[in-house]
Every structure is written in C-alpha cells, then in structure tokens.
C-alpha cells in the first residue's frame, strides 16, 4: 500500500465535515471526495447478499444498494464473490452484459457508473465499498488505487468498531439497518413453510417474484409478513 495514498485517505477522514458523524459515514464522504464520485456506500455482506448499509453518503445510494439486493446481482455481488474491484464505467452500455437486470434498472435510477471494492482480510470478505456516479465515466488508475486503499481503511475501521462489541452482537454503528431488512428474512422463513421448500429456495422465489412484478423486495416481503400476499406453489 502506498504510504502517500494512505496518508491522503487518513487526512480526508479527519478533514471530512465533523458533523457527518460516524467513522463509516466519514469513510463514505471521503470516498466521494477522493474518487470524484457522486455517492458512496459501505455495506456488510454475508454469502454474497447485501446485509444492510452501515454507511452511505446519500439516501440515493441506499436505493441503488437495495436494487442490487432485490436483484441479487450487480457490482457489489461481483466484488464480493471475486475479491476484486468490479468497475462499470457505463451502466447503460449495451455491450456490458455482466448484469442484465441491474444495468437497466440502475440506469433508470439515474446511475451512470458503479465502482465496487471488496472489504475483507485475505480470503475472508465482509462487504463492499461502492462508489456511484450519475454520469458514465471511467475511474483513473490512480482512483482505482485510491479506492483499494479506502476499502482497506474502511475494513480496519469496521474491525476496530466490532472489536469493541460484545460476543454475538454487532457494534451499534454496524447494526443499523433499514426497517425492511428484518422483514425480508421473516418473509423468507414464512414462505419456506408455506411452499414447503428450503430457506434459500424460498428467498430465490421471493426475489424472482419481486423482479417479475417490478416491485422492490422489501415491499413484497412486507406483504408476505402481513399475510396479504402468498406466492403460488410451483407446479410439479
């Protein structure tokens, strides 16, 4: 890791507007400044699924993260599974066939470019740092190098926070989640009983349904939990 870049990142973390709160939010704000992007977010992930944002620079970022969570695809998922940055300079580019659903839906939300950097230690991955631009445009090599340093620093910040938490629990700053998050998993449990399938299959069914009817996953989940929606059993 370049000492110069590390110094730049640490200085940016300190100099970010002091009112912006926690170290994770500061890391997002520093990312916006250092990578010349319009929004940035930090999300924890387990098994390739986004588990709620722990920090973001903008509510708009949360909406795009939720979209990736609904679709189960996108740069965050790829960065997590490959352990390498996933960079999309032009989300609407039809030649970029990596994320057919997220590419279209993300562009509709006004996302021009997405850059996701994995968080983790060696083979263990804990989430992503993601940066968004409203307009298409590549990151320079220097920006990519800076993004990797930002991801390392964010990882250390998250580990530092969690080191102060009690066993079995998440640190308060990491436990923050949108209210719909719990409902997605509750609905998964309910659907698995209703459909007589395993949890992962129940989740995939719910996600496919959300995609098919073009409704966010959290809305579908809330309907299931309130027992206003039942998914049809698959025909044998």
Residues 206 to 225 in contact with another protein, rule: CB under 8 A? 225
Cβ nearer to another protein, comparing 18 with 122: 122
How far apart are the C-alpha atoms of 20 and 184, rounded to whole Å? 29
Distances in Å between the alpha carbon of 25 and those of 42, 86, 131, 224? 8, 22, 13, 32
CB of 46 to another protein, least distance (A): 5
Confirm or reject binding of residue 14 to another protein (CB under 8 A): no
R_g of the chain computed on alpha carbons: 18
How far apart are the C-alpha atoms of 172 and 203, rounded to whole Å? 27
Q: Which stretch binds another protein (CB under 8 A): 23-31, 58-66, 186-194, 212-220?
A: 186-194
Confirm or reject binding of residue 190 to another protein (CB under 8 A): yes
Distances in Å between the alpha carbon of 80 and those of 87, 175, 195? 12, 20, 30
How far apart are the C-alpha atoms of 40 and 2, rounded to whole Å? 22
Which residue of 3, 163, 212, 236 would you call a contact of another protein, by CB under 8 A? 163
Confirm or reject binding of residue 50 to another protein (CB under 8 A): no
Confirm or reject binding of residue 189 to another protein (CB under 8 A): yes
Confirm or reject binding of residue 150 to another protein (CB under 8 A): no
Q: Which two tokens stand for residue 119?
A: 């968080």
Positions touching another protein (CB under 8 A) are 44, 46, 51, 120-124, 126, 156, 158-159, 162-163, 165, 167-170, 174, 182, 184-194, 199, 225
């Amino acid at each position: 890791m370049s000492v110069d870049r590390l110094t730049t990142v640490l200085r940016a973390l300190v100099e970010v507007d002091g009112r912006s709160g926690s170290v994770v939010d500061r890391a997002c704000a520093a990312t916006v400044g250092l990578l010349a992007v319009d929004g940035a977010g930090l999300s924890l992930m387990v098994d390739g699924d986004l588990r709620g944002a722990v920090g973001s620079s903008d509510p708009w970022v949360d909406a795009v993260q939720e979209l990736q969570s609904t679709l189960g695809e996108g740069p965050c998922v790829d960065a997590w599974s490959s352990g390498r940055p996933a960079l999309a300079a032009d989300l609407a580019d039809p030649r970029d066939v990596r994320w057919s659903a997220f590419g279209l839906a993300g562009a509709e939300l006004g996302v021009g470019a997405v850059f996701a950097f994995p968080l983790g230690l060696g083979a263990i991955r804990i989430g992503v740092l993601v940066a968004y631009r409203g307009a298409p445009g590549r990151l320079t090599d220097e920006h990519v190098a800076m993004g990797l340093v930002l991801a390392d620093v964010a990882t250390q910040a998250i580990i530092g926070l969690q080191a102060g938490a009690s066993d079995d629990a998440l640190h308060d700053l990491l436990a923050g989640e949108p209210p719909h998050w719990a409902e997605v998993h509750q609905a998964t449990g309910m659907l698995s009983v209703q459909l007589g399938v395993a949890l992962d299959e129940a989740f995939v069914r719910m996600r496919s349904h959300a995609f098919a009817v073009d409704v966010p996953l959290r809305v579908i989940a809330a309907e299931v939990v309130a027992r206003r929606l039942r998914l049809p059993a698959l025909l044998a």
